[in-house]
Structure 1
């Protein structure tokens, strides 16, 4: 298990508590009142991105094992890291938390389905994948429990929560930077080989995922903050989950190479996307999105 795989859940649990300090029940009621952003983001996750990934895999002519590894990555839900990036770059964090929870449930069904279809289509030598309910429970624990505790603290100690908003945001950025450094150092010996094998395709997939996540909602007249949330949720896949499935459940370390490569690159592509989106001026959007 990589150092990042150990540190990231702990760091994210702390960060999610901080995000909970800035949320109130009204934020989640607003998501339910304007469901368009949620529906579009989930459609992109379940339908659009696997199709895009399949097109890239066929275009690059990847070997079967790496092709299945890419499809496994595409089928993985948005990671909890998306909540942090959305927080840092002005997204609707309540929408992110909602999407992460729903995505985790959907992935119980969609991840095994897409992976098994890919194994059959590409003829890779691997076993079949069952429903990963336990992984969804882990995501729920990391995301929802700390957020709920943070929201409870905000309700009970409102003044404290408001004072902590800026320090928590700074601390979150520092923790993220440390995780990125740990990820790069952990894979330093392997990065060259990874980039040679799947560097370009994972980079393209990351960029396309972020672009689809932002522009699909915006073209549907969804608000900018919700589009940023969708960008991060759809653009940041749970590489830790897909690595665990490939190397652990399917016992194929080569199949985990695309996710391992993506897991390093996505920190940087998502950061670039966040800075670019934050620099864009707000544009008027129709009400009720």
Structure 2
């Protein structure tokens, strides 16, 4: 009886992680994003149609193609392959805005693209999840209800961003005071989620580290370069190229990890499909450092 009660308690704890901690953590992260957004940021989209089209094309269309190419080239399959594609379907992260600023990129463009693609993810993510699940997973590995997933995406991404923007619009001073605090909390939650996902699939990570580590680091560099090249092809300035490069290379791994927990049909709170996003959450900085330095040099040399 004691063993049974402990087992039930364990299952309830797992459910709590999936149904409460992960969505709430992501909501806080997205709220911190919304506090930094204004209507004027989105108005800038109208003034920069080439930049927005280039950013959307790189992140929504070409990024999944590049990630899929890496998955095939490195022989990744099953849940790990689906995990990488789940990451590719996720929007850009708040970190991309910070890195864009550090390398001298166009911050307004970066923020606009992060917000826009986060809003579009309500539509794009459920459709892409269904497609990649059918390609890489067996029936029953994940539970995908497109309508339900779209509503959950709306609740944990769009709603917090909208609330943050409303607070910024009606109480700017309050938003400016709480934004730094929320940013720190968001960073801590990000670390907790990444560490938890890695710990939950440690044996899988150990068995596949020699493949996952170089693949992920190289993939980040290629995605950074992809955004830069696409922006250059349409004639954008060096700061705009840096912004789109960072938006393309730095994905929101917290979204992917949260979705992994929601989608998985098994008892694990953080299943194997969350592992690629967790590894990426750490190794993206290895690619962002050299890539960001090259962007910084290019922006400084630009007329």
- Kindly report which structure 2 residues correspond to 1:13-52, keeping only aligned pairs within 5 A, or say none: 13-14=31-32, 17=35, 19=36, 25=40, 28-52=42-66
- Kindly report which structure 2 residues correspond to 1:68-217, keeping only aligned pairs within 5 A, or say none: 68-125=82-139, 126=141, 127-131=143-147, 132-146=150-164, 149-150=167-168, 193-194=204-205, 196-197=207-208, 198-217=212-231
User: As a proportion of its length, which structure holds more helix?
Assistant: 2
CA distance in 1, matches of 2:233, 2:279: 31
Q: What is the root-mean-square deviation of aligned Cα atoms in Å?
A: 3.6
CA distance in 1, matches of 2:106, 2:167: 19
CA offset at residue 74 of structure 1?
0.8
CA distance in 2, matches of 1:186, 1:175: 16
CA offset at residue 246 of structure 1?
1.6
Give the TM-score normalised by structure 2. Answer: 0.72
CA offset at residue 40 of structure 1?
1.0
Corresponding position of 1:218? 232
CA distance in 2, matches of 1:61, 1:277: 31
Distance 1:79 1:86, change over 3 A: same
CA distance in 1, matches of 2:258, 2:217: 21
Q: Which moved more, 1:133-142 or 1:104-113?
A: 133-142
Of 268, 278, 291 in structure 2, the residue corresponding to residue 273 of structure 1 is: 291
Gap runs ≥5 in structure 2 = 1-16
CA distance in 1, matches of 2:291, 2:235: 20
CA distance in 1, matches of 2:183, 2:297: 18
SS at match of 2:146: coil
**Contact 2:92 2:252 (C-alpha < 8 Å) held by counterparts:** yes
CA distance in 2, matches of 1:224, 1:71: 29
Distance 1:117 1:7, change over 3 A: closer
Gap runs ≥5 in structure 1 = 285-289
